């Protein structure tokens, strides 16, 4: 539905007008649509809003820029107003909030502007300057009365506010019939209306998930700094000061809105014991006892899937869990991962090979991997990416779990003497077999392996194999110290661990960004809207992590490296961070 684009002032005017109009009862109390239960009305309304699909099942149609026809398959209300309905920004275009609580209340520009001006007297100097800048550059919103169902329907259909001012052309004009309009308006009234679970008058509750098999070292590397963050944050709120007392505190309280109603943060640890099949029940029990607003970080060496599915089904955001086995999905919404983990390494190897960055002799491409969750993740990534381009069939050999890749197995898989490309997702234990095989007849022209599987064995790749061995390396080639939030610190790349400190630290700026803008909009979808629109530059073990609307894997890259010659080889970069 509404999609208002405005250049700043026009945007503000439009917002103000959209926010203005007629009579209007309180939002959310409207009658349901005849013939539909309230639940069904909201389901259908959500489908219009998010998917652009009408109650008939057909895509909606509309017109933008005066004469450009669009369909719901191209974009819909959510594209601009986002899931929370609280609006968005892109370039110099602001899309105003479109949830009932805002639309159906009057807007008094004098009060709101005065509030903003008061804000310029408080907060950090950076915040004061920014707030002042908004006021001087954007100006003030004109006052307007609350919307009514009638004026809102007119706005959606005709693209004009109740005072006759046209919205700009990017706001589609939707020729909805009365039934569709009623469904949509009911949905808008429900949008971002009630705070999400996990929030009380004084506290916003978070949990972090730690599975039982995680080592004490990694557990501490995650939990100690998380706990420290919470203590610093709460300490500053309790003192009701926004003055920083040091660099770290500055990061924590940066840009706290002057008039926000911040809640204290509580963080509990949800320990998961036993096999992943039992995790779902444990999660449900934790949540039943004490609902949380979101999950922060978390760590496991196993598949994250049970937690992922729990979060999807309960609409609980999960931010940056530390796992090499995430769920790789194009539709998952509620978990923001660092990357696709092992899968992403597999993808990168396939793309690198397909781009013929490596010498390919025309022989078969053979993938050998253990039939384990880890092996299957690598193999799936490679297979999916390889098959995207309609390339020659991939030969595969899955080794039963616990089976070592011997020379015989590798020779049989690759077809001795066929100049094959061997993609080998095992640890360094396979290197002697590999060396014996390739040293004998040179039957393998190119080898792909993974740095995260080889671990310290990476440096043990024999010199004779180095020219033909390409290694996926999913981290930056300069590393980031765990205490560094924004600056890259050059240190020797580590090979052997999961970079838990760096990953744990990466969540600080993300949390700070969320707290800076969440204010009292305690809606989970709004929290994700904030992260999605974030332009944060977050230091992490990865070369780069970025956010974007609906993007759920922050690190998009993985290097391909080789080892240099000599007894103390170095990593030599053989690809860009992202291989297409």
Residues of this chain, 138-157, that bind other proteins according to CB under 8 A: 138, 141
Does 120 participate in binding other proteins (rule CB under 8 A)? Answer: no
Separation of CA 133 from chain center? 30
Residues 468-507 as x/- pattern, contact with other proteins by CB under 8 A = ----------------------------------------
Rounded to a whole number of angstroms, the minimum distance from the CB of residue 385 to other proteins is 9
Q: Which CB, 350 or 368, lies closer to other proteins?
A: 350
Rounded to a whole number of angstroms, the minimum distance from the CB of residue 497 to other proteins is 25
Rounded to a whole number of angstroms, the minimum distance from the CB of residue 7 to other proteins is 4
For 95, 101, 355, 497, the CA distances from 114, given in Å and listed in that order, are 23, 21, 58, 53
Number of residues that bind other proteins (CB under 8 A): 81
Tokens of 169: 């052309």
Stretch that binds other proteins, among 129-137, 218-226, 280-288, 402-410 (CB under 8 A): 129-137
C-alpha neighbours within 13 Å on the C-beta side of residue 359: 8
Does 451 participate in binding other proteins (rule CB under 8 A)? Answer: no
Does 440 participate in binding other proteins (rule CB under 8 A)? Answer: no
C-alpha neighbours within 13 Å on the C-beta side of residue 491: 15
Does 74 participate in binding other proteins (rule CB under 8 A)? Answer: yes
Of these, 246, 288, 402, 535, which contacts other proteins (CB under 8 A)? 535
Q: Which CB, 255 or 428, lies closer to other proteins?
A: 255
Rounded to a whole number of angstroms, the minimum distance from the CB of residue 85 to other proteins is 9
Beta strands in 427-526 (DSSP E): 444-450, 469-473
Distance, CA of 47 to CA of 55 (rounded, Å): 8
Crossing angle of helices 178-190/149-158, nearest 10°? 110
Binding to other proteins in span 508-527, by CB under 8 A: 517-521, 526
Rounded to a whole number of angstroms, the minimum distance from the CB of residue 350 to other proteins is 11
Does 551 participate in binding other proteins (rule CB under 8 A)? Answer: yes
Does 201 participate in binding other proteins (rule CB under 8 A)? Answer: no
Residues 37-66 as x/- pattern, contact with other proteins by CB under 8 A = ---------------------------xxx
Stretch that binds other proteins, among 11-19, 155-163, 466-474, 558-566 (CB under 8 A): 11-19
Does 107 participate in binding other proteins (rule CB under 8 A)? Answer: yes
Q: Which CB, 266 or 348, lies closer to other proteins?
A: 348
Rounded to a whole number of angstroms, the minimum distance from the CB of residue 71 to other proteins is 8
Of these, 10, 360, 409, 484, which contacts other proteins (CB under 8 A)? 10
- Contact by Cβ (8 Å): 473, 558: yes
Does 114 participate in binding other proteins (rule CB under 8 A)? Answer: no
Distance, CA of 59 to CA of 468 (rounded, Å): 52
Does 277 participate in binding other proteins (rule CB under 8 A)? Answer: no
Nearest to 129 by CA among 23, 258, 15, 310: 258
- Contact by Cβ (8 Å): 344, 572: no
Q: Which CB, 5 or 184, lies closer to other proteins?
A: 5
Does 290 participate in binding other proteins (rule CB under 8 A)? Answer: no
Tokens of 132: 């002042």
Does 7 participate in binding other proteins (rule CB under 8 A)? Answer: yes
Does 217 participate in binding other proteins (rule CB under 8 A)? Answer: no
Q: Which CB, 346 or 557, lies closer to other proteins?
A: 557
Stretch that binds other proteins, among 308-316, 466-474, 487-495, 543-551 (CB under 8 A): 543-551
For 256, 374, 498, 508, 537, the CA distances from 485, given in Å and listed in that order, are 18, 30, 18, 8, 9
Binding to other proteins in span 241-270, by CB under 8 A: 257, 259-261
Residue 390: exposure state from Cβ atoms within 10 A (0-12, 13-18, ≥19):
exposed
Q: Which CB, 288 or 580, lies closer to other proteins?
A: 580
Q: Which CB, 31 or 486, lies closer to other proteins?
A: 486
For 48, 203, 462, the CA distances from 562, given in Å and listed in that order, are 50, 50, 12
Tokens of 351: 């793309």
The DSSP bridge pattern shows strands 420-424 and 444-450 to be parallel
Binding to other proteins in span 559-578, by CB under 8 A: 576-578
Nearest to 46 by CA among 163, 185, 237: 185
Binding to other proteins in span 367-396, by CB under 8 A: 388-389
Of these, 15, 183, 296, 531, which contacts other proteins (CB under 8 A)? 15
Stretch that binds other proteins, among 89-97, 196-204, 219-227, 468-476 (CB under 8 A): 89-97
Q: Give exposure, 39-66, as e/b (b: 16+ Cβ within 10 Å).
A: eebbebbbbbbeebbbbeeebbebebee
Q: Which residues contact 100 (CB under 8 A, 6 or more apart)?
A: 27, 28, 188, 189, 190, 191, 193
Beta strands in 413-531 (DSSP E): 420-424, 444-450, 469-473
Rounded to a whole number of angstroms, the minimum distance from the CB of residue 79 to other proteins is 5
Of these, 2, 30, 45, 97, which contacts other proteins (CB under 8 A)? 97
Separation of CA 367 from chain center? 30
């Amino acid at each position: 539905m509404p999609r208002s684009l405005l250049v700043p002032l026009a945007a503000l005017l439009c917002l103000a007008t959209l926010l203005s109009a007629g009579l209007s009862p309180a939002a959310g109390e409207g009658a349901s649509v005849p013939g539909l239960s309230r639940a069904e009305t909201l389901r259908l309304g959500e489908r219009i809003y998010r998917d652009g699909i009408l109650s008939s099942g057909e895509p909606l149609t509309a017109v933008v820029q005066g004469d450009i026809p669009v369909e719901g398959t191209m974009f819909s209300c959510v594209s601009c107003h986002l899931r929370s309905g609280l609006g968005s920004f892109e370039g110099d275009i602001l899309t105003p909030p479109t949830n009932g609580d805002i639309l159906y209340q009057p807007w008094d520009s004098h009060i709101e502007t005065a509030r903003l001006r008061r804000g310029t007297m408080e907060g950090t100097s950076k915040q004061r300057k920014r707030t002042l800048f908004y006021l001087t550059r954007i100006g003030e919103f004109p006052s307007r009365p609350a919307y009514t169902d009638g004026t809102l329907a007119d706005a959606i259909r005709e693209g004009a506010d109740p005072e006759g001012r046209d919205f700009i052309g990017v706001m589609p004009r939707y020729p909805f019939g009365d039934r569709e309009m009623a469904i949509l308006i009911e949905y808008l009234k429900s949008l971002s209306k009630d705070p999400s679970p996990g929030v009380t008058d004084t506290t916003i509750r978070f949990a972090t998930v730690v599975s039982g098999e995680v080592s004490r070292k990694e557990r501490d590397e995650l939990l100690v700094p998380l706990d420290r963050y919470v203590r610093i944050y709460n300490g500053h709120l309790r003192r009701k000061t926004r003055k920083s007392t040091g660099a770290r505190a500055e990061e924590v309280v940066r840009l706290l809105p002057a008039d926000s109603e911040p809640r204290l943060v509580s963080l509990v640890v949800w320990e998961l014991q036993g096999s992943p099949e039992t995790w779902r029940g444990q999660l449900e029990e934790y949540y039943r006892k004490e609902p949380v607003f979101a999950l922060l970080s978390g760590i496991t060496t196993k598949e994250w899937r049970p937690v992922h599915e729990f979060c999807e089904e309960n609409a609980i955001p999960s931010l940056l869990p530390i796992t090499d086995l995430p769920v790789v999905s194009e539709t998952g919404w509620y978990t923001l991962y660092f990357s696709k983990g092992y899968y992403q390494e597999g993808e990168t190897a396939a793309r690198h090979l397909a781009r013929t960055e490596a010498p390919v002799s025309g022989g078969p491409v053979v993938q050998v991997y253990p039939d384990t969750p880890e092996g299957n993740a690598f193999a799936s990534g490679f297979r999916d990416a390889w098959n995207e381009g309609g390339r020659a069939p991939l030969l595969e050999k899955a080794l039963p779990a616990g089976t070592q890749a011997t020379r015989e197995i590798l020779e049989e898989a690759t077809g001795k003497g066929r100049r094959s490309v061997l993609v080998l997702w095992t640890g360094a234990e396979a290197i002697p077999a590999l060396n014996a095989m390739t040293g004998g007849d040179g039957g393998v022209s190119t080898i792909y392996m993974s740095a995260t599987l080889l671990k310290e064995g990476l440096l043990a790749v024999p010199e004779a194999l180095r020219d033909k061995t390409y290694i996926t390396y999913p981290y930056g080639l300069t590393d980031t110290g765990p205490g560094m939030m924004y600056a890259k610190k050059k240190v020797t790349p580590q090979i052997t661990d999961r970079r838990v400190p760096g990953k744990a630290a990466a969540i600080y700026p993300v949390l700070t960004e969320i707290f800076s803008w969440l204010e009292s909009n305690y809606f989970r979808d709004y929290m994700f809207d904030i992260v999605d629109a974030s332009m944060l530059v977050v230091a992490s073990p990865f070369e780069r992590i970025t956010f974007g609307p609906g993007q759920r894997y922050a690190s998009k890259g993985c290097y391909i490296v080789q080892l240099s010659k000599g007894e103390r080889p170095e990593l030599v970069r053989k690809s860009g961070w992202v291989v297409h």
